[in-house]
Structure 1
């Protein structure tokens, strides 16, 4: 009787585990994998049949001492939960997970329930970026109103004074006042970004990137190599070509200027890439398809001290920078319902632009 029911019992629990959205790993007291459910197979990119009997180290490695914690939990019959653990998978991909451990001394097995957090953290980060963008726009509008009104008065007064002076030296001072007020007014206008509505039409994103590449090569006098890694199958998207060129150029110029300040012998290079991403969420909005545009350089990267604030106005990692380029670019991409993110990489800096790809049904 026992023999006939055991296979069915095993099949039943496997079906139950496979129906869970949570990734479940079952290991024995030697930390050898007994079962991976379907969600775990998807998370690790490995099949249960492929991993059965192999050590959990073949699935992932962790700097937090996870395997030792598992054996200790089994010996002491302790349940525990770990938040935001950093695991490195067999393919060297790094993921952040929450996991709960439930030992079963009777069977000698340990059940590990794993919840990947990278996507949730990404959504939270995107929502924070969108909130920052709206806050910075409101701040810019308030500053523009408070600054431009007195600037106009100062400029007008300086012009009147210049007409009263016969002394060329005094006229020079009024010219300085006028020039500096004009400079401040232009700075405020840049802070606000373009004041005309978007003129959207179907366009090829690669024509935008090629235009930017031409400008970067010209401004750097061909001292910086521009590489391409395009997906030629990307269809036309709905966008304002001028605004998209400005957004990508702001990021690429930052990369160019950072590379020009390098003091080592690294060959400076900027890589422009395009890809399609499916089933992507920007903030709280789901899109079936988005275009991913990467602007990567082999420069020194963003200083850790400002990395969380780089999209805010007046935040810059360079002494000569105004800190407006990324803020303006974020606003321009926001007008396309998109988002710009900064990607941490080893020995590289990459900004990624996500723009929803409209289908014919949207027109």
Structure 2
């Protein structure tokens, strides 16, 4: 074994470029002195283009905390940070763990950055946890719905019987109010439970569904929000319920519209995008091909305190919102063995539906 190891003659430069971990060396002015191949891939640039560029030039102003690096370089203090969201100026965002090591050569202060992308591992862990939490929440809602609807039926029936005994029209108004409010609460409970019918599937071009959604939101925006399309025409027909899927996409799109309007976003924009992804993992199951439908807006982003609960029923930041739109969208997507993924930071919110692509003989 020792002889075989000795025969592997790799230079330190070759070894660094074989690493999947991003390695970057910067000086105290944030000038980039060295990058390995993994760093070039993450920054999506070439070796010639990296020279004479500052490290922070690749990121949005809130995409990297410059003061953390400045203090560490000034005091020559190493640090590590986990789950750091790096937001690039080209609209990309990656979740990373960062380790910074400070050193000095010939009186020049430098910092070695080791950046490890953890998006995929984090997503799988989050999806498993969120799926379990959402299933528990749904079971809780089902139990509460049963306990609420039974007495509501009794209250409604009693009000109707009482109304028959009354002769004064003014008193009948009160019994009718009881009936109306009982019906309203019953309707709210039904909406909390989500759709109770099975999907009526058929083979359809997914872009036909998206175009219907685009037409609806285009009419609703009163031309104040730009609607962009970026479709992949190679996506084959999907075996889906077009009405359910349209409702799911419409709920997400309306959520984006409301966020843009409430924030008074300048040059407000919603982008509808489709792509194909190979070897997607959806709820722990691997699919060879999946269709991705993304709804992207340039609004304020989802508040940090809501990111983990955004799909729960009754969770909303809107004054008059019911908080059911995204919850219903997720239930409808679950009926198609799919999932909804969300990436959000200021200026960019992207909801992506993952739908398995099945062959006709399946």
- Contact 1:33–1:52, Cα closer than 8 Å, also in 2: no
The TM-score normalised by the length of structure 2 is 0.76
> CA offsets per residue over residues 195-236 of structure 1, 9 Å max, x none?
111222222221111222233344556665543232222222
Query: Please, which runs of 5 or more residues in structure 2 have no aligned partner?
Result: 1-6
Structure 1 residue 361: Cα displacement: 7.7
Structure 1 residue 112: Cα displacement: 5.3
Question: Which residue in 1 is equivalent to 2:313?
Answer: 313
RMSD: 4.1
- Contact 2:32–2:53, Cα closer than 8 Å, also in 1: yes
Question: Which residue in 1 is equivalent to 2:286?
Answer: 286
More deviation, 137-146/93-102: 93-102
Which secondary structure does the structure 2 equivalent of 1:360 belong to? Answer: coil
Structure 1 residue 149: Cα displacement: 0.7
Change (3 A) 1:223 1:159: farther
> CA offsets per residue over residues 105-126 of structure 1, 9 Å max, x none?
99x9987543222333333333
1:358 aligns with 2:357: yes
Change (3 A) 1:35 1:212: closer
Change (3 A) 1:88 1:10: farther
1:187 aligns with 2:188: yes
Query: Please, which runs of 5 or more residues in structure 1 have no aligned partner?
Result: 1-7
CA distance in 1, matches of 2:308, 2:206: 28
- Contact 1:338–1:356, Cα closer than 8 Å, also in 2: yes
Structure 1 residue 332: Cα displacement: 1.0
Which secondary structure does the structure 1 equivalent of 2:316 belong to? Answer: coil
More deviation, 221-230/287-296: 221-230
Question: Which residue in 1 is equivalent to 2:119?
Answer: 118
Change (3 A) 1:92 1:331: closer
- Contact 1:28–1:34, Cα closer than 8 Å, also in 2: no
CA distance in 1, matches of 2:115, 2:75: 18
CA distance in 2, matches of 1:100, 1:297: 32
1:333 aligns with 2:345: no
Question: Which residue in 2 is equivalent to 1:11?
Answer: 10
Structure 1 residue 317: Cα displacement: 1.6
CA distance in 2, matches of 1:217, 1:121: 35
Structure 1 residue 24: Cα displacement: 4.5
1:150 aligns with 2:146: no
Which secondary structure does the structure 1 equivalent of 2:181 belong to? Answer: helix
Question: Which residue in 2 is equivalent to 1:135?
Answer: 136
- Contact 2:302–2:345, Cα closer than 8 Å, also in 1: no
Change (3 A) 1:82 1:196: closer
> CA offsets per residue over residues 171-194 of structure 1, 9 Å max, x none?
222111111111111111111111
Change (3 A) 1:162 1:44: same
Change (3 A) 1:69 1:286: farther
CA distance in 1, matches of 2:233, 2:79: 49
Matches within 5 A, 1:337-352: 337-347=337-347, 350-352=349-351
Change (3 A) 1:227 1:39: closer
Structure 1 residue 85: Cα displacement: 4.7
Change (3 A) 1:163 1:346: same
- Contact 1:271–1:297, Cα closer than 8 Å, also in 2: yes
CA distance in 1, matches of 2:53, 2:299: 39
CA distance in 2, matches of 1:55, 1:347: 24
Structure 1 residue 271: Cα displacement: 3.2
Change (3 A) 1:14 1:238: farther
Structure 1 residue 327: Cα displacement: 0.8
Question: Which residue in 2 is equivalent to 1:232?
Answer: 233
Change (3 A) 1:12 1:333: same
CA distance in 1, matches of 2:291, 2:252: 17
Which secondary structure does the structure 2 equivalent of 1:153 belong to? Answer: helix
Structure 1 residue 12: Cα displacement: 4.7
- Contact 1:34–1:53, Cα closer than 8 Å, also in 2: no
Structure 1 residue 169: Cα displacement: 1.9
- Contact 1:34–1:52, Cα closer than 8 Å, also in 2: no
Question: Which residue in 2 is equivalent to 1:4?
Answer: none
Question: Which residue in 1 is equivalent to 2:252?
Answer: 251
